Amino acid sequence: MKETVAIDKPVKYGCEFCKREFLKENTVDRHICEQKRRWLDKDTQGNRLGFQAWLQFYTKNTTGRKNRTFEEFIKSAYYTAFVKFGTYCVNIKAINVSRFIDWLLRDQVKIDNWCKDSVYDKYLCEYLRVEDPMDAIARSIETTIDLAAPENIQLNDVLRYGNKNKICYAITSGKISPWMLYQSDSGTAFLDSLTEDHVGTIISYINPEQWAIKFKRDTESTAQVKKLLKDAGY
């Protein structure tokens, strides 16, 4: 009687993401499918912020209590849109991204518009008026440190002697708050020294009428900020 010889089937190695199979383990290691690429990119700042936005989106729009995972995120049809948004926030150094996402969801802004500068500018102008004054001042002081170094001036002299174009840009990006501009001697002097072009650039971010009302309503914070800035030489 003829003996039968068992022929072993070759061992196959599968990609855990796309389920494609390979004969060699090192081929799997070199293999990059779209979902694996997304997984490998998970620790980039843009991806992390995109994932955060995706989680907030689902928390806002679904009633389920299930904790969603990054594995689910990379399979989502919305992955590319949310990562694009996260990368946008990184590039513009968006202030308080979590609040920005909440604002977008509250105002029901279409996700296709989340990366528009006009949308962020609208959020920023609103946020600057409601944020904690101490957070605003801390960020403003940090910005004067950054601006003072290359010009070799004291940080509390940035608004007096610094480059006006750079300062105006810092204002329009929310890095220097109206709290500093209106409640410091150097800030008010800076505003008085601006040309019409400069004023036109920053006016929507420092709306004098709205901020005057705010300062009048919050006299305690206003006095605290004014004293802090005066003691620091601003």
Q: For the chain, 234 residues long, give each residue's pLDDT as a single digit of tens.
A: 444 444 455 556 566 666 666 556 666 567 677 777 878 888 999 999 999 999 999 888 776 667 889 989 999 999 999 999 999 999 999 999 999 999 999 999 999 999 999 999 999 999 999 999 999 999 999 999 999 999 999 999 999 999 999 999 999 999 999 999 999 999 999 999 999 999 999 999 999 999 999 999 999 999 999 999 999 999
Residue 172 shares a structural domain with residue 136: yes
Domain membership flag for residue 119: no
* pTM score above 0.85: no
Domain membership flag for residue 30: yes
Residue 85 shares a structural domain with residue 67: yes
CA dihedral 210, 215, 217, 221 (to 10 degrees): 140
What is the per-residue pLDDT for 7? 47
Residue 173 shares a structural domain with residue 224: yes
* Residue-wise burial string across 36-72, b where 16 or more C-beta atoms lie within 10 A, e elsewhere: bebbeeeeeebbbbbbbbbbbbbeeeeeeeeebeeee
Residue 145 shares a structural domain with residue 89: no
Domain membership flag for residue 121: no
Residue 215 shares a structural domain with residue 160: yes
What is the per-residue pLDDT for 73? 92
Domain that holds residue 185: 131-231
What is the per-residue pLDDT for 21? 64
Residue 196 shares a structural domain with residue 159: yes
What is the per-residue pLDDT for 2? 46
β-bridge mates for residue 22, sequence order:
13
Rounded CA gap, 196 and 21, in Å?
A: 66
Residue 28 shares a structural domain with residue 64: no
Q: Which of 88, 114, 140 is the last residue of a domain?
A: 114
What is the per-residue pLDDT for 10? 59
Sign of dihedral through CA atoms 40, 46, 47, 48?
A: positive
Residue 157 shares a structural domain with residue 142: yes
Domain membership flag for residue 86: yes
Residue 36 shares a structural domain with residue 52: no
Residue 135 shares a structural domain with residue 227: yes
What is the total count of domains within the chain?
3
Residue 153's closest CA among 166, 134, 171, 172? 166
Residue 70 shares a structural domain with residue 93: yes
Residue 80 shares a structural domain with residue 99: yes
Domain membership flag for residue 1: no
Domain membership flag for residue 72: yes
Domain membership flag for residue 205: yes
What is the per-residue pLDDT for 181? 97
Rounded CA gap, 152 and 82, in Å?
A: 41
